[in-house]
Amino acid sequence: MDIEILRERARIIRKTRSFFDLRGYLELDTPLLAPDLIPETSLEVFETAYIPPRQSKGAAEKRWLIPSPEIWMKKLIAAHRTDMYQICKCFRNTESRGSLHNPEFTMLEYYTMDAGYEDSLLITEDLFRHLLPAAPSGEAPGAVETQPGPLSPPFMRITMEEAFLRWAGFSLHETAAAGAGALEAEGRRLGLDPPPGLDTATLYDLIFIHAIEPALPRDRPVAILDYPAFVPCLAKKKAGSRTVERWELYLRGIELANCYSEETDPHEVRRYFETESAVKEKTGRVRHKVDADYWKVFSPRRDGAFPRCSGVAMGVDRLIMALTGKSFIDSILPFTV
């Protein structure tokens, strides 16, 4: 590992902290081990156990390494209703090792109160301005401006529907409404040859990965907004729409960050947990405990309801790759595991 890359890595993380500290966000340090997790069928986790001392008669207790600090942070949002952020290690299992993946990685997660997903996009652009190098503007003595380049804001904004129309050649909303068979036919037209029997969400994901992601512009950051509501997640649904208030940010074709206007309705959270838990129980390779009462975190209390807020989860290692011009994740990590 190049010592200069390690110094740059440390500098980027320090500047990231300074950005949120200057804005009054509370920095958190929550556990990496959890007795239960949010059920997410799109990922797998690592299982471990707490083994009591020899003299104890207690049985070993299962624990799981967090795939993100979300489960802890939302409990603190419910209790304190304040802007907060965290930079921590996270863990995801069964993903192929390669230029973009490591089973252990660094995550930046930040939540802003009384904000929606569009507010979070503006904050994320400000974060990039803070992290990018500055150059003399020539307009006034001592004045500086963010140096223009392929990472400079403003980000390109495009909805998922617009992306499908532009790069896959069909309307996602209209085709999905016609059923999985219509999406399967579009996949075959695109030369993807999907196996028969896939559901709508899986077909959408297949087409997105193979037809949309490779076509995304690489000369500037791209934010894809308004994801289809048939993809399960804890984002708030747009009123009268078939979409949810969600965006993902891509740099040079690489997914960097995921953002929601957070779902605050306890009944919707409960429904998500029940639905995803049932699927996870059937299809998950690593089963984990789910807190059936987690939805109560969002229930109104004497001091008020769970606040309107928006959260962003960003891969720090991929951010450092982009800012240092590297193409492989192991080139910016002290060690890979």
What pLDDT, on a 0 to 100 scale, did the predictor assign at position 139?
Answer: 45
Whether 186 and 174 have beta carbons less than 8 Å apart is answered as: no
Cβ atoms within 10 Å, residue 335: 8
The two beta strands, 46-50 and 84-91, are unpaired
Render pLDDT for 241-258 as a digit per residue (tens, 0 to 9): 899 999 999 998 899 999
Sequence spans of domains, the chain:
3-155+264-331
Render pLDDT for 46-86 as a digit per residue (tens, 0 to 9): 999 999 998 788 899 999 999 999 999 999 999 999 999 99
CATH domain 3-155+264-331 topology: BirA Bifunctional Protein; domain 2 (3.30.930)
> Residue 56: helix, strand or coil by DSSP?
coil
Whether 131 and 15 have beta carbons less than 8 Å apart is answered as: yes
What is the distance of C-alpha 116 from the center of its chain? 15
Cβ atoms within 10 Å, residue 314: 20
Crossing angle (nearest 10°) for helices 3-22 and 316-324: 120
Render pLDDT for 83-104 as a digit per residue (tens, 0 to 9): 999 999 999 999 888 789 999 9
Is the pLDDT confidence value at 42 over 80?
A: yes
